[in-house]
Amino acid sequence: MATGLPTYKVILCGEYGVGKSSIFRRFMNNTYVVSNEKKTTIGLDQASRIVNVNGTDVKLLLWDTGGMERMSFIGSSYYRGAQAALLCYSVNNKETFNILSQYILDIVMNAEGAKIFLCGNVMDCGDDKEKVTEADVDRFTEECDNVLSGVYKVSCRDNIGINEMFKDITEKLHEMSVNKMTLRRDMVIRPGETPELTKDTSKKRCC
């Protein structure tokens, strides 16, 4: 098993029944479960998968919980340490879209610094059944004003866009992490180096 790889925790967020567990299963095992009875996720699930980003292996740790668990005790451990949140809605259910700003608030308050990505699932339902239009998504993206780091549409049933979405998310997370590390390295004051400010102060003290 690969260890020591850069690891990114991504949490799935969104209403009951939008397909979070289906996204989880499609990405982790390439499976899809058709179910007529509603089987909501109780508690939480997590699994990881290695994704190759421009020749470098990184680990994507995906967390899933039920939409109903939003306010439960699971809350803080679910959000803690997440680098990203995938905000899910169903394109044929406008209510699941209209409530997204509440989820954004939850994410911002509980997972500090996590990047937020938007995912419209069930795109296989056909254009005529899509209740969330491109214009709705554009308006929401504008209202969010740079809060969203990526916008995707997928179908778990037909396996459309899932791998591409996670590849893009992983690439963005890895790139941001590498940039942060470079910035930190540049800010290090090496032993023996005197910062300019100290030099000036010492000159003024001499009288």
Is position 21 an interface residue for Mg ion (rule: CB under 5 A)? yes
Instruction: Find the part of the chain contacting Mg ion (CB under 5 A) among 41-49, 51-59, 116-124, 186-194.
Output: 41-49
Is position 46 an interface residue for ligand GTP (rule: CB under 6 A)? no
Least Å from the CB of residue 106 to ligand GTP: 14
The correct pick among 30, 40, 72, 201 for binding ligand GTP (CB under 6 A) is 40
Comparing CB distances to ligand GTP, the nearer of 39 and 180 is 39
- Amino acid sitting at position 40: T
Is position 122 an interface residue for ligand GTP (rule: CB under 6 A)? yes
Q: Which residues of 116-127 are buried (b: 16+ CB within 10 A; e: fewer)?
A: bbbbbbbbebee
Is position 9 an interface residue for ligand GTP (rule: CB under 6 A)? no
The edge-to-edge listing of strands for the beta sheet with 56-65 is: 44-53, 56-65, 7-14, 84-90, 115-121, 148-153
Give burial (CB, 10 Å; 0-12/13-18/19+) of 59.
middle
Contact 46, 64 (CB under 8 A): yes
Least Å from the CB of residue 175 to ligand GTP: 28
Instruction: Find the part of the chain contacting ligand GTP (CB under 6 A) among 14-22, 76-84, 139-147, 189-197.
Output: 14-22
Helices (H), the chain: 20-29, 75-79, 94-98, 100-110, 134-144, 162-187, 196-205
Is position 163 an interface residue for Mg ion (rule: CB under 5 A)? no
Total of chain residues touching ligand GTP, rule CB under 6 A = 21
Is position 124 an interface residue for ligand GTP (rule: CB under 6 A)? yes
Residues at the interface with Mg ion (CB under 5 A): 20-21, 41
